[in-house]
Structure 1
């Protein structure tokens, strides 16, 4: 129990405590930075040097070093927080004590500077009772020992924190083993906001973060609020694992197909389906199912190969895999450059027909826009994100005519944009633009209807409508930052205007968007015109780069 006295409380000065807290805080931050470098520099050792006794020894030593360095952070951070809180709490208690002591002395009370007990002067009650004011003052004075008790409790709490976290001269600072992060804790983050998830992630030591990335990559890889570089690590792991599983399954399917075709040619249907009423029909039915599965597997592997090839291309800017899933039609979010450090972030949302098997084309568009924005503004960095993070319509009719895909996609896009804000660590907030092509613009329309949409500008390219009839209905972005273009010969112009499908055409004057130029396209190939906005010489492409980099007066 602390033996702190009232005199100690009155004499408390926060400066030494705050200065010491800053020292511990700098130590924690420095250790965190070094630990991250150590982890990133050694985590792949087992992959590049997988075999042999020397490899095992090196990997073991690296793991021990990572644990030792990483485990310094939490104790140092707790020390910094405890010392800072102690200074704040004790100053508040000192001010209370100063006010009470001043009041007591003014009334002639004697104050015990050890316990805080205030004693009334002998003449205080000679009339047989205190007046109402004196009784109120006595009630306040009786609180002074309680202030001292609070100060002692605070002193004990700080002393306990110091004794638990200060390094042992014999054992060192980082020898203790911190608890791992259980799956249920990671899963619980999905119900939290990106900002809350980001704060949780920052509270983990680098070693705990590595453990989560290693054990639960499928959970954190798609979690908004986790830094992009860490999501990239998780998703690459999932990508490699899924590729291996699909390759294995494809090999099994192809082997089975080869066997069944051999049986079919030999007419030995009953060898495979001896109990079937019609063995040949049963065998042919299985062949059709296998062919369908083979097509799906081949398509997904094609998409995985496109992603992997881009991630490892040394001749292009560094790319990050921010999201990946092979479920259903699949999902993929790939950024060219790191959105967490970029001055500008352009998120590109594709439209109808997008699948994992088709992501190569979308990633190429992201590369094209990254090249354009780099030329448009050489003084600032721009990251371009290919965001296929929603279930896109499979067909133009009837799927692309309904709102449900846009409603679901809009919610996910909204959270993703909020996550980009939560993880950005530049000196100032990035300039964020969200660009949608075709049905992708409809997705943005649903996301931008909410006032909390985190975007500085939205761009609609070849849009069928965004399910509102005026730019001012998109309350998540300023009306003067709503941009649109539709080529003269784009087939999308055949879609009825206003409320028949997805609302007013954003490129029409009565919508209220800022319309920019695009090449007219081919009147004899309106379908091709719908995808020609990214052609090399199309003026729309340069306009998009100018909008994304904030050079609005130059937009044509």
Structure 2
């Protein structure tokens, strides 16, 4: 008995039973002191000063801990944001995947009955938007693992906008890019609705920008899903400017932060591109929220709300560029009135697009008096109004994408040399005089011969991502 007792440790445990489990005897490791993070409304300039003041050990600690708010903090380097946001995204994925694996069921079963597995509805929302974001990164990265596009998760908040989610995927590092383009989508777009997956807008613009300017490889195109867009044409908010104004505030904050973290080794050229309701959001970001960028591009714009002319964008030496296909019905809603607007609404309703009675979000930037530069954006076979033509602007080879590429890659002069400039829409005249109070509903683009419109304007490329 004494021999057996001699084998026991002084704490009474048998060494054979607690081998490798010396925690009861080992003093607990001191926890690393928490590093306070600036609140989300801190200016990007102050955030950068805070981040630069930290030691490398403190930065590494925060990156390892990856608090969700850090990855969405303007003023933090894009590479750090990407690491933190992808770590948070993986946590959101693994929270469900690990439970499913532990119970021997599929993730879909856990999603259907989260409470049975100790999870909440919030856990499921985080998981579902994490899946869509992960798939968006994979989609933009491309199918060739040996030659992927360089994607970054610049922003990520799966619970934003009541579960619609927020995310921004950048192809190319905006902190090192000479040319950065920010793409803002419109009605019916959200993380939850899958906008990040299956849309080639950012991919096509990135690939074409590299082909258009092969001497400057540092290009970034950001797909920005950072505001609460109307859910669809049945959403009454599509006829109201409030989401555009709120989104404009958010967009301005994110875009203005790009200059704060840019390395400054070369002049940075920033283009902000809005499509549909996103074009109204871009206009409000410039006119109301103080967004600073070099150029604006508005595509299929239903109205510019608080911007009454190009001067309200306050671009300095830059310009407002407009792509509005004559056959795109949404692009005609802005600043129309009376019979033209009612005829347009009747057309849209006949084609199962239930436009609200108050549709119309301000001035049409394609009008000749707006002060914008309009480029060709017609669709092959154009004729009467066609709602499908509202989604043609980013098609590879299209007139619109060629023109967007020239602006975003810093070569707007090519619009003239390549014959891509278009006349603005204009009011009817009596002799040399315009008829007061009548909207600009005469579109010279509608009279272009169909055989002059082709989707063969792509810059030559090997079609493989770089």
TM above 0.5, one fold?
yes
Matches within 5 A, 1:369-448: 369-380=205-216, 381-397=218-234, 398-448=236-286
Match of 1:368? 204
Contact 1:460/1:485 (8 A) holds in 2: yes
Cα drift, residue 496 of structure 1? 5.0
The normalised TM-score by structure 2 is 0.67
1:315 alignment partner, one of 141, 147, 150? 147
> Which blocks of at least 5 consecutive residues in structure 2 are unaligned?
1-19, 21-29, 114-120, 338-357, 421-466
Q: Secondary structure of 2:298's match?
A: strand
Pair 1:536-2:393 in alignment: no
Find the partner of 2:51 among 201, 205, 208: 201
Measured in 2, the distance between the counterparts of 1:389 and 1:224 equals 13
* Counterparts of 2:326 and 2:111, CA distance in 1: 51
CA distance in 2 between partners of 1:180 and 1:256 (Å):
36
Q: Tell me: higher relative CO, structure 1 or 2? Use CA pairs within 8 A at least 6 residues apart.
A: 2
- Distance between the aligned counterparts of 1:300 and 1:233, measured in 2? 15
Give the distance between the partners of 2:383 and 2:126, measured in 1 at CA: 35
Residue correspondence of structure 1 range 260-339 to structure 2 within 5 A: 301-308=131-138, 310=140, 313-327=145-159, 328-339=163-174
Q: Is 1:233–2:83 an aligned residue pair?
A: yes
**Count of matched residue pairs:** 347
1:171-211 deviation line (CA, Å, top 9, x unaligned)? xxxxxx997443xx20x342321011011111111221111
> Aligned pair 1:217/2:63, yes or no?
no
Q: Distance in 2 between matches of 1:257 and 1:226?
A: 37
Farther off after superposition, 447-456 or 190-199: 447-456
Report what 2:109 is aligned to.
254
Going by fraction, where is helix more abundant, 1 or 2? Answer: 1
Report if aligned partners of 1:243, 1:304 keep a CA contact under 8 Å in 2: no
For 2:303 and 2:181, the matched residues in 1 are separated by 21
Q: Please state how far the C-alpha of 1:307 moved relative to its aligned partner.
A: 2.4
Deviation at 1:221, TM superposition (A): 0.7
Structure 1 residue 545 and structure 2 residue 382: aligned?
Answer: no
Mapped pair 1:481 → 2:340: no
Q: 1:450–1:494: structure 2 CA closer, same or farther, 3 Å change rule?
A: closer
Mean Cα deviation higher: 529-538 or 240-249 = 240-249
Task: Name the stretch that deviates more: 455-464 or 247-256.
Answer: 247-256
- Equivalent pair of 1:471/1:482 in contact (CA under 8 Å): no
Q: Deviations over 1:246-268 (max 9, x none)?
A: 5458957636969xxxxxxxxxx
Alignment pair present for 1:516 and 2:375? yes
Whole-Å Cα distance in 2 between the matches of residues 256 and 436 of structure 1? 34
Between the aligned partners of 1:323 and 1:360, the Cα distance in structure 2 is 13
- Partners of 2:331 and 2:154 in 1: CA distance: 34
Q: Secondary structure at the match of 1:210?
A: helix
Q: Paired residue for 2:304?
A: 466
Query: Deviations 1:407-460 (Å, cap 9, x if unpaired)?
Result: 111111111111100000031330011001111111111110148422000000
Question: Do the aligned partners of 1:421 and 1:429 also contact (CA within 8 Å) in 2?
Answer: no
Instruction: State the 1:524 CA deviation.
Output: 6.8
Match of 2:188 among 353, 361, 364: 353
Q: CA deviation at 1:300?
A: 5.9
Pairwise CA distance, 1:533: 1.1
Q: Is the 8 A contact 2:379 2:398 kept in 1?
A: no
Shift of 1:298: 5.5
Distance in 1 (CA, whole Å) between partners of 2:282 and 2:77 is: 23
Q: Confirm or deny: 8 A CA contact 1:180 1:208 kept in the other structure.
A: no
Q: Which structure has the larger Rg? A: 1
Q: Distance in 2 between matches of 1:257 and 1:332?
A: 25
Check whether the contact 2:133–2:167 (CA below 8 A) recurs between aligned residues.
no
Once the two structures are TM-superposed, the CA of residue 364 in structure 1 deviates from its matched residue by 2.8
Instruction: Output the TM-score relative to the length of structure 1.
Output: 0.57
SS of alignment partner, residue 195 of structure 2:
helix
Indicate if the aligned counterparts of 1:363 and 1:386 stay in contact, CA closer than 8 A.
no
Note closer, same or farther for the CA distance 1:233–1:421 as it changes in structure 2 (3 Å cut): same
1:100 maps to which residue?
A: none
**Do the aligned partners of 2:309 and 2:370 also contact (CA within 8 Å) in 1?**
yes
Deviation at 1:223, TM superposition (A): 0.7
